[in-house]
Amino acid sequence: MIDTSLKTYGEDVFSEKAIRDFLPKAVATKLIATMKESKPLDPSIADEVAHGMKEWALQNGATHFTHWFQPMTGGTAEKHDAFLEPTGPAAAVQRFCGKNLIGGETDASSFPSGGLRSTFEARGYTAWDPTSPAFIKRHANGATLCIPTAFCAYTGAALDMKTPLLRSIQAVTRATERLMKKFGKAGGHVAITLGAEQEYFLVDRTFYLKRPDLLQTGRTVFGAAPAKHQQLDDHYFGAIRPRILKFMTEVEDRLWRLGIPAKTRHNEVAPAQFELAPMFEDLNLAVDHNMLIMEVLKQTAEANGLVCLLHEKPFEGVNGSGKHCNWSIAYGGKNLLSPGDSPRDNAIFLTFLSAIIRAVDLHADLLRFATAGAGNDHRLGANEAPPAIISIFLGDELSAVMQAIEEGTRTKRTGRLTFKFGVDTLPALPKDSTDRNRTSPFAFTGNKFEFRTPGSSQNCAASQMVLNTIVAESIDAICDKLEARGGDFNTELQNLLQRLIKKHKRVLFSGDGYGDAWPKEAAKRGLPNLTDTLEAIAPLEDPANRALFAKYGVLTEGEMASRHEIAAEDYLSRILIEGKVALEIARSMIRPVVADEFSRLATAIGQAKKDGLKVGVRGLTALSLKLGAGLDDLHVKCEKIEKAIAKGEPRGILAALASLRSTVDRLEMLVDDAKWPLPKYRQMLFIY
Ligand code: ADP
Ligand code: MG
């Protein structure tokens, strides 16, 4: 039964309450200041913090601790050490000291480093991130204390996702403070927030185990479209089946214990597709929490005889899964992306909005890079996901405001609206506009931007790190311009934003992002359309982009080069695995079944002819012709994909795979249903 009292909420977290309960008062105060206000950590408190943390963990059944980090594999990593320390023969105590808490040394030789770590220097270092609280992971026989950490090489080069994320938060925080000073505000705490909506599929484990493609690649490389899939829109927001609800409540129970504010659950568009959305939180914490959400979804599915698929496109022909990243900046507890009530608040809002528009227009290529990957390639631009072209949707009211600023208020009245900085207030903008454009990759949704391009399996840190950096750069550019002028502030600001909007409005698009017309229009506007991972990672090699990340101290040139190498390698490896799995299934599972069926028919035809039967021969012959042609086709296409695999060229493999798939999917409709070796879409997507 679920605990409805909320007594267990956050009980698996070394929370503010646990910190106060287990640490001396002065130590607790210092640690909480570091967590909440990012104050530098006083190293002299480490031993006392470690001791209190251990006592808390032991009380919760923990035997081991681990530095928990996010290497560039896309997942999380942990290596457990027992608290146990022998004190003599057959005697031991539980020990955990400040040194164990603050840093760890680990053999990093098998984590991707993209050339950052030479093989003779295999050590990697983990460093405690005190801004994300420690937590425990429970298992059947106890628990493990997990300490969120950053992971780097001997040289200090980042080998993980968290390090550049933290650096980017610092960059955008500094830029925000600088701009807020221009509006006469100082001392407010800057908070970057993220609410990540997580989509996923569930399939029954018995089907999953019979699909080598799902097992090995997370997606089905074969499978004919079922007669009914999502045409009737009857799954979206439909009544949740009891088995799924049981699963969802178990997920929520575990997440709530971890202090993860899972809030929304519903059926998604595709059959067997669902969504979980937590309440937004501080960005760094929200990223850690999303990694845990993915883990809990998978483990809880397994415990329920299900499998949770986080792949962006596990089934062809139905919607894929994304991870909508809702992002905003708050200052002194107030959301800067929320239009205010006073002329000054509005000027602040419009300045940040313009900075973001400029950033997205100038660096759309980098946002696209941050969402690249073999899985997400299948989703972007597939008529149900945002296109690979990055554009911004503002909504009617805000678009009208931007237009009024662009056209200038002093010279011209634009329809019903004029707008003058420092004088006018904004017209009331509906906070929850109903006309939200679901086809836009980057949409303003009342008080935040929703970036919809990231894939369901991806670490949010990738896209958020880029977003923070490019917005920091834009805010700084605005500050630089304002400082260079120095006339009347409101007039200068108005003129500056007018120029900015003129220059960058090409990135604004409120039409149908799924339509055929948009890619043509986008090309005319000069917006990049990077359709696959190979194109999407190329911007990492651009010297201007390297300089940008270096300037903000988010990624060095070397770190960017390594990320490029890792992304290219990961992409090729995944495509090679898909190609090999497809070839193996086609040759060793599909072909024998088709050959048997063909030979059975051939025998029957021969027998019928010998017996002089007048009926049946025609039907049998027609089918055997189709099966025979299919067999030949299968043979040719297997040879083709085998050659493409040998060449190791991803685009060639993908083309050969698509062609092989069309043959296999045709055969699926011809061969005796009882003999087909793979569970079908109409089973996997509907029986659970
Ligand atoms: P949907 O986009 O499905 O309509 P909601 O509007 O309810 O969903 O919000 C989606 C996500 O946006 C939730 O995780 C929510 O907490 C988050 N969110 C709301 N306000 C903010 C904000 N200011 N900053 C970041 N995320 C936010
Ligand atoms: Mg959404």
> Of all residues in the chain, what percent carry a pLDDT higher than 70?
96
Query: What local confidence, expressed as pLDDT, does residue 235 receive?
Result: 84
Question: Closest ligand 1 atom to the C-alpha of 280?
Answer: 16
Q: Is the CATH number of domain 168-219+230-415+434-555 3.30.590.10?
A: yes
- Is residue 386 within 8 A of residue 453, CB to CB? The reply is yes
Quote the ligand 2 centre to 555 CA distance (angstroms).
Answer: 29
Query: What local confidence, expressed as pLDDT, does residue 415 receive?
Result: 53
Give me the residue spans of the domains in the chain: 16-159, 168-219+230-415+434-555, 574-684
- Residue 669 burial (C-beta neighbours within 10 Å; 0-12, 13-18, 19+): exposed
Residue 575 has pLDDT above 70, yes or no: yes
Confidence of residue 418 (pLDDT cuts 50, 70, 90): low
d(CA 362, CA 364): 6
- Is residue 140 within 8 A of residue 118, CB to CB? The reply is no
| Weakest-pLDDT range from 70-74, 268-272, 429-433 | 429-433
Radius of gyration (C-alpha) of the chain in whole angstroms: 28
3-state secondary structure of 359: helix
As a whole number, mean pLDDT of residues 513-532 equals: 94
Whose CA is closest to 469, among 458, 461, 481, 480?
Answer: 461
3-state secondary structure of 657: helix
**Helices assigned H by DSSP within 38-134:** 46-59, 98-102
Question: Closest ligand 1 atom to the C-alpha of 328?
Answer: 24
d(CA 289, CA 44): 29
Residue 390 has pLDDT above 70, yes or no: yes
d(CA 371, CA 475): 23
> Which residues, listed in sequence order, are joined to residue 670 by a DSSP beta bridge?
none
As a whole number, mean pLDDT of residues 173-179 equals: 98
Question: Which one of 197, 323, 452, 467 would you pick to mutate in the ligand 1 pocket, going by the greatest count of ligand atoms within 8 A of its CB?
Answer: 197
- Is residue 661 within 8 A of residue 582, CB to CB? The reply is yes
Measured by CA distance, the residue closest to atom 17 of ligand 1 is: 195
Residue 414 has pLDDT above 70, yes or no: no
Ligand index nearest the alpha carbon of residue 326 = 1
Measured by CA distance, the residue closest to atom 14 of ligand 1 is: 195
Confidence of residue 430 (pLDDT cuts 50, 70, 90): low
Ligand index nearest the alpha carbon of residue 333 = 1
Quote the ligand 1 centre to 124 CA distance (angstroms).
Answer: 36
76-103 pLDDT, tens digit per residue, is 999 999 999 999 999 999 999 999 999 9
Q: What is the DSSP secondary-structure string of 149-213?
A: EEEEETTS-B-BSHHHHHHHHHHHHHHHHHHHHHTT--SPPEEEEEEEEEEEEEEEHHHHHT-HH
Question: Closest ligand 1 atom to the C-alpha of 196?
Answer: 14
- Is residue 508 within 8 A of residue 364, CB to CB? The reply is no
Quote the ligand 1 centre to 191 CA distance (angstroms).
Answer: 15
Residue 141 has pLDDT above 80, yes or no: yes
Whose CA is closest to 99, among 127, 73, 140?
Answer: 127
Quote the ligand 2 centre to 682 CA distance (angstroms).
Answer: 28
| Weakest-pLDDT range from 370-379, 400-409, 416-425 | 416-425
Query: What local confidence, expressed as pLDDT, does residue 365 receive?
Result: 97
In angstroms, the Cα distances linking 136 to 24, 62, 63 are 21, 7, 10
**Helices assigned H by DSSP within 552-616:** 557-585, 591-610
- Is residue 278 within 8 A of residue 28, CB to CB? The reply is no
Which distant-in-sequence residues (6+ apart) come within 8 Å of 671 by Cβ?
593, 594, 597, 627
Comparing 233 with 51, which gets the higher pLDDT? 51
Query: What local confidence, expressed as pLDDT, does residue 424 receive?
Result: 72
| Ligand 1-lining residues (CB < 6 angstroms) | 193-195, 197, 277-280, 326-328, 335, 447-448, 450
Query: What local confidence, expressed as pLDDT, does residue 411 receive?
Result: 44
Query: What local confidence, expressed as pLDDT, does residue 412 receive?
Result: 47
Tell me the torsion sign for CA atoms 386, 389, 395, 396.
Answer: negative
Query: What local confidence, expressed as pLDDT, does residue 408 receive?
Result: 78
Q: What is the DSSP secondary-structure string of 365-426?
A: HHHHHTT--HHHHTTTTSSSS--SB--EE--HHHHHHHHHHHH-TTT--BTTB---TTTPPP
Question: Which one of 325, 444, 448 would you pick to mutate in the ligand 1 pocket, going by the greatest count of ligand atoms within 8 A of its CB?
Answer: 448
CATH numeric code, 574-684:
1.20.120.1560
Question: Closest ligand 1 atom to the C-alpha of 335?
Answer: 23
Query: What local confidence, expressed as pLDDT, does residue 427 receive?
Result: 66
Quote the ligand 1 centre to 386 CA distance (angstroms).
Answer: 18
As a whole number, mean pLDDT of residues 240-267 equals: 97
Tell me whether domains 16-159 and 168-219+230-415+434-555 share a fold: no
Ligand index nearest the alpha carbon of residue 323 = 2
- Is residue 417 within 8 A of residue 427, CB to CB? The reply is yes
Whole-model pTM?
0.96
For residue 186 the two structure tokens come to 């100082």
Query: What local confidence, expressed as pLDDT, does residue 565 receive?
Result: 96
Question: Widest CA span of the chain, in angstroms?
Answer: 103
> Which residues, listed in sequence order, are joined to residue 103 by a DSSP beta bridge?
127
497-518 pLDDT, tens digit per residue, is 999 999 999 999 999 998 889 9
Ligand index nearest the alpha carbon of residue 334 = 1
Quote the ligand 2 centre to 424 CA distance (angstroms).
Answer: 31
What φ, ψ does residue 197 adopt, rounded to 5°?
Answer: -80, 125
> Which residues, listed in sequence order, are joined to residue 86 by a DSSP beta bridge?
92
**Spelled out in words, what is the top-level CATH class assigned to the domain 16-159?**
alpha beta
d(CA 126, CA 114): 18
Ligand index nearest the alpha carbon of residue 236 = 1
Question: Which one of 198, 280, 434, 451 would you pick to mutate in the ligand 1 pocket, going by the greatest count of ligand atoms within 8 A of its CB?
Answer: 280
In angstroms, the Cα distances linking 262 to 5, 38, 280, 293, 322 are 16, 25, 9, 9, 17
Question: Closest ligand 1 atom to the C-alpha of 338?
Answer: 23
Comparing 118 with 685, which gets the higher pLDDT? 685
| Weakest-pLDDT range from 140-149, 221-230, 253-262, 271-280 | 221-230
In the 8-state DSSP scheme, what is residue 455? B
Question: Closest ligand 1 atom to the C-alpha of 432?
Answer: 6
Per-chain mean pLDDT for the chain: 93
